[in-house]
């Protein structure tokens, strides 16, 4: 449920998407931005979660390839460690990922792939989650919801990969977001991007 060893071609990252679930009170977390309020949200988010990755894409140098949805869901928990929410996977090969609240930068997610360095491709799917989807589910703009960022790195087969996970807390039982993996192999940039959803 956090970082796992990437598969060589897709540079896979384990977090993901499943059917949306409503919060305990049936509401969302619109307008929750203050420190004390975010501390309360942290406590609400602790516990067991299910996640599954949706289809995205991989850019390897000049090549742009589709990256299919992960076939099965992953499980794990979110817990407080050293004052930070941390994703702890049930999979023993997973890597724990510490999260921090993002309050100073606006986010925007489009359904069209954002291909780096002017790359274009017709073989990659539209992404399953965008700003409009989050607004429909939450009832407010992405940037009016609590948002979390986790960043970590690992070396796989001599290649250093940086993982960034962005999560939007729609409610106590529903997180939407995106994960991105970036690295350089044999002088070529590698970027992988997927939308994710986590639910109870």
Which of 6-15, 51-60, 124-133, 139-148 comes out lowest in average pLDDT? 6-15
Domain coordinates in residue numbering, the chain:
35-199
Q: What is the pLDDT of residues 1-27, one digit of tens each?
A: 644 444 333 333 223 322 333 333 446
Average pLDDT score over the chain: 84
> 74: closest CA among 95, 60, 56?
95
Q: What confidence score (pLDDT) does residue 182 get? A: 94
Instruction: Output the pTM of the full model.
Output: 0.83
The answer, yes or no, to whether residue 81 has pLDDT greater than 90, is: yes
Residues with Cβ < 8 Å from 136, sequence gap 6 or more? Answer: none
110 pLDDT exceeds 70?
Answer: yes
Q: What is the dihedral of CA 180, 183, 186, 188, to 10 degrees?
A: 60
CA 160 from chain centre, in angstroms, equals 19
How many CA atoms does the CB half-sphere of 91 hold within 13 Å? 20
What mean pLDDT is predicted for residues 143-165?
Answer: 93
């Amino acid at each position: 449920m956090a970082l796992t060893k990437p598969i060589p071609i897709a540079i896979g990252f384990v977090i993901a998407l499943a059917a949306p679930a409503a919060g305990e009170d049936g509401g969302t977390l619109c307008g929750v931005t203050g420190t004390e309020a975010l501390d309360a949200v942290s406590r609400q988010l602790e516990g067991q979660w299910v996640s599954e990755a949706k289809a995205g894409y991989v850019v390897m140098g000049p090549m742009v390839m589709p990256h299919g949805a992960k076939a099965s869901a992953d499980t794990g928990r979110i817990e407080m460690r050293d004052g930070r929410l941390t994703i702890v996977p049930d999979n023993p090969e997973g890597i724990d990922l510490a999260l921090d609240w993002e309050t100073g930068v606006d986010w925007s997610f489009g359904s069209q792939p954002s291909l780096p360095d002017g790359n274009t491709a017709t073989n990659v799917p539209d992404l399953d989650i965008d700003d409009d989807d989050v607004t429909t589910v939450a009832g407010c703009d992405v940037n009016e919801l609590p948002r979390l960022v986790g960043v970590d790195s690992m070396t796989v087969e001599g290649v250093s990969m940086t993982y960034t996970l962005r999560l939007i807390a729609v409610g106590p039982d529903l997180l939407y977001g995106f994960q991105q993996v970036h690295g350089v192999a044999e002088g070529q940039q590698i970027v992988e991007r997927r939308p994710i959803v986590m639910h109870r």
